[in-house]
Structures are given as structure tokens and as C-alpha cells.
Amino acid sequence: MTRLNLGCGDDKRDGYIGVDIRSGPAVQLIADISKSLPLEDNSVEEILANDILEHLQRYEVEPALREFYRILKPKGHIRIKSPNIRLLAFALAAGTIPDTEFERKIYGSQDYKERPDLNTHKCGFSPAMLIWLLTKCGFEIVSRSDSGEAGDWSNLIMEAEKP
């Protein structure tokens, strides 16, 4: 079973191939997800795309999702986690998130000394925007959470399937 952890960084997961643009202890495949991935059509059962799509330019997101669709097997799943810009905007307006935390969640940490651009957020998503993009690329939405998981209120999580 082939499962990918895209943008894995240091997140090593049993049973997953770690894919990242930079080398590291969890990385088994160095690849830029904004480009064609060196994988066969219909060869992957599951894709984790946690905290990665926001690092792409807006114009790169749809082609990347189409590439994920290409490599997923029929009935294959993708799980996307990304900052929920709508929720963050409401939190900023309500004064329930410090400005500095809002800025970090919107623009990224930018803390990679050798290449800060690789840890910079270049686009953002509301749940409606991500649903629109996924369905436009052929995916069917399986589940969604507009406020992440426990202790993760500012992220949206979307799961979709290739029919």
C-alpha cells in the first residue's frame, strides 16, 4: 500500500513515504509538489497534505491538486489540513487571537534560515474555497472540519476521495 505524507518535514509516520522539498530525517522522496511527481498514475492509496498547500502560489494549487488526483487510485483518499482564513479573520476582528499569532498563521513562520521562502504561506483557504477547488479537480468531499481537531481550532481539515 502506497501512502504519502506530503510536506512531511520532521513528521515521520509509519507506513508513509515522507515527501518534502528539503531533505530531512523523515524525507524519503525529495520533490516539489508544485511540479509533476515521479509516481505512476493511480499508484497511491492515501495522501496526507497537512500544512502544505498554503506554501504554494495561488496559481500552483489547482495543478497540484490535479497531480494528486492523477497519482491517487480510484477510491484513494486525500486529507488536507490548512489554516482556515475565514475563522482566523473572525478571530482577529473579535480580538480573540493576538496579532502576532494571526500573522504567523496567515504568513507562516518564515524560520528556515537557508530558505525562509519555503516556510512562507503564499495563499490561504476558507472551507468553501477548498471544496470548490477539490470538486473542480474531480474529487468528492468525504468529510470536513472547519475548526480542525482538538486543540487545533484555527485549521480546517478536508478529506476527499477520487471516485
Q: For 50-65, write each residue's pLDDT tens digit.
A: 999 999 999 999 999 9
- Per-position DSSP letters for 135-149, written without gaps between them: HHTT-EEEEEETT-S
* Tens-digit pLDDT profile for residues 64-90: 999 999 999 999 999 999 999 999 999
* Coil, helix or strand at residue 102: helix
**CA–CA separation, 67 vs 55, rounded Å?**
16
**CA–CA separation, 105 vs 158, rounded Å?**
18
Checking if the pLDDT of 7 tops 90, the result is: yes
Q: How far is CA 16 from CA 9, 12, 36, 44, in A?
A: 13, 8, 19, 11
Strands, DSSP E only, in 64-126? 72-83
* Tens-digit pLDDT profile for residues 29-56: 999 999 999 999 999 999 999 999 999 9
Q: Residue 75's pLDDT is what?
A: 98
CA 65 to chain centre: 10
Domain membership flag for residue 55: yes
Which one has a higher pLDDT value, 162 or 118?
A: 162
Domain membership flag for residue 110: no
Domain membership flag for residue 15: yes
Count of domains observed in the chain: 1
The phi-psi region of residue 44 (left if phi > 0; otherwise alpha if psi is between -120 and 50; otherwise beta) is beta
Domain membership flag for residue 53: yes
**CA–CA separation, 147 vs 157, rounded Å?**
7
Checking if the pLDDT of 144 tops 90, the result is: yes
Domain membership flag for residue 88: no
Domain membership flag for residue 78: yes
Reported as a pLDDT band with limits 50, 70 and 90, residue 150 is confident
What is the average pLDDT across 12-37? 96
- 79: domain CATH number is 3.40.50.150
Domain membership flag for residue 103: no
Considering all CA atoms of the chain, what is the largest pairwise distance in Å, rounded to the nearest integer? 48
Q: Which three cell numbers stand for residue 142?
A: 468525504
Residue 162 contacts residue 73 (beta carbons within 8 Å): yes
State the pTM of this model.
0.94
Q: Which three cell numbers stand for residue 74?
A: 480510484
* Tens-digit pLDDT profile for residues 83-135: 999 999 999 999 999 999 999 999 999 998 888 888 899 999 999 999 999 99
**Range(s) of the domain holding residue 71:** 3-83+123-161
Domain membership flag for residue 109: no
